[in-house]
Amino acid sequence: MDSTVLWSGDGVLVIGIAAVLPRAEARLRIRAAVREAAAQWLKLNSEAVSLESTPGAPPRLLLAGRTAGLSLTHDEGMSLAAIHLHGAVGIDVMRVQDIADWANLARDYLGSQVAQELAAGPASLRPAALARAWTAREAALKCAGLQLMEWDGIALDCHLQAVETPQNFVAMLATIRGQTRRV
């Protein structure tokens, strides 16, 4: 069950594991994959790479004495990680599926404008549109160091980019504007 590089550029690496695993095992596997991928990417000894995690705070990746931004996300069947060498990063993944209470979910967490846009679009395209909006918001919140919360009207100044994923998933990557640079 190897990880796959899904995106690389601007000092950012996104890896994924596509497998249906219990959440605890998925967490362990993606963390191990992060250490392995970061060591290969940066040509470091794997012992020079470690993860630091404190409840309520974004995880951090320690790379031979320096710190890199790290974000992790899971949905049943998919785990992703994003590493950013030059600053904060957020990533989120969501399976595209019909959600019965999508209108309330969108209004409460994505704001009335997004809820109205989703309602105005074709019902057949709504699950994918909702997944794109949800992953964009959650990735931006993670990038800003914030936990998931109900809509507060605050726009987060992040650069958002869709990440191609296998199967029926949508993923979004967020970096703080102005923090990326070519390596």
CATH number at residue 49: 3.90.470.20
Residue 69 has a CB neighbour count (10 Å cut-off) of 25
- Judge whether 104 lies within some domain: yes
Three-state SS at 92: strand
- Judge whether 182 lies within some domain: no
Q: How many domains does the chain have?
A: 1
pLDDT over 80 (residue 180)? no
Question: How far apart are alpha carbons 73 and 39 in whole angstroms?
Answer: 20
Residue 22: predicted pLDDT: 93
Mean model confidence pLDDT for the chain: 92
Model confidence at 179, in pLDDT bands (50, 70, 90)?
A: very low
Model confidence at 16, in pLDDT bands (50, 70, 90)?
A: very high
Report CA-CA distances (Å) from 9 to 3, 65, 84, 110: 17, 22, 10, 28
Print the domain residue range for 75.
4-176
- Judge whether 183 lies within some domain: no
pLDDT over 60 (residue 154)? yes
Strands 66-75 and 60-63: antiparallel
pLDDT digits (tens, 9 = 90+) for 24-56: 999 999 999 999 999 999 999 999 999 998 887
- Judge whether 161 lies within some domain: yes
pLDDT over 80 (residue 182)? no
Model confidence at 1, in pLDDT bands (50, 70, 90)?
A: low
- Judge whether 23 lies within some domain: yes
Residue whose C-alpha is closest to residue 70's, from 171, 177, 149, 173: 173
Mean pLDDT of 56-79: 92
- Judge whether 134 lies within some domain: yes
Q: Note the pTM of the prediction, 2 decimals.
A: 0.92
pLDDT digits (tens, 9 = 90+) for 91-126: 999 999 999 999 999 999 999 999 999 999 999 999
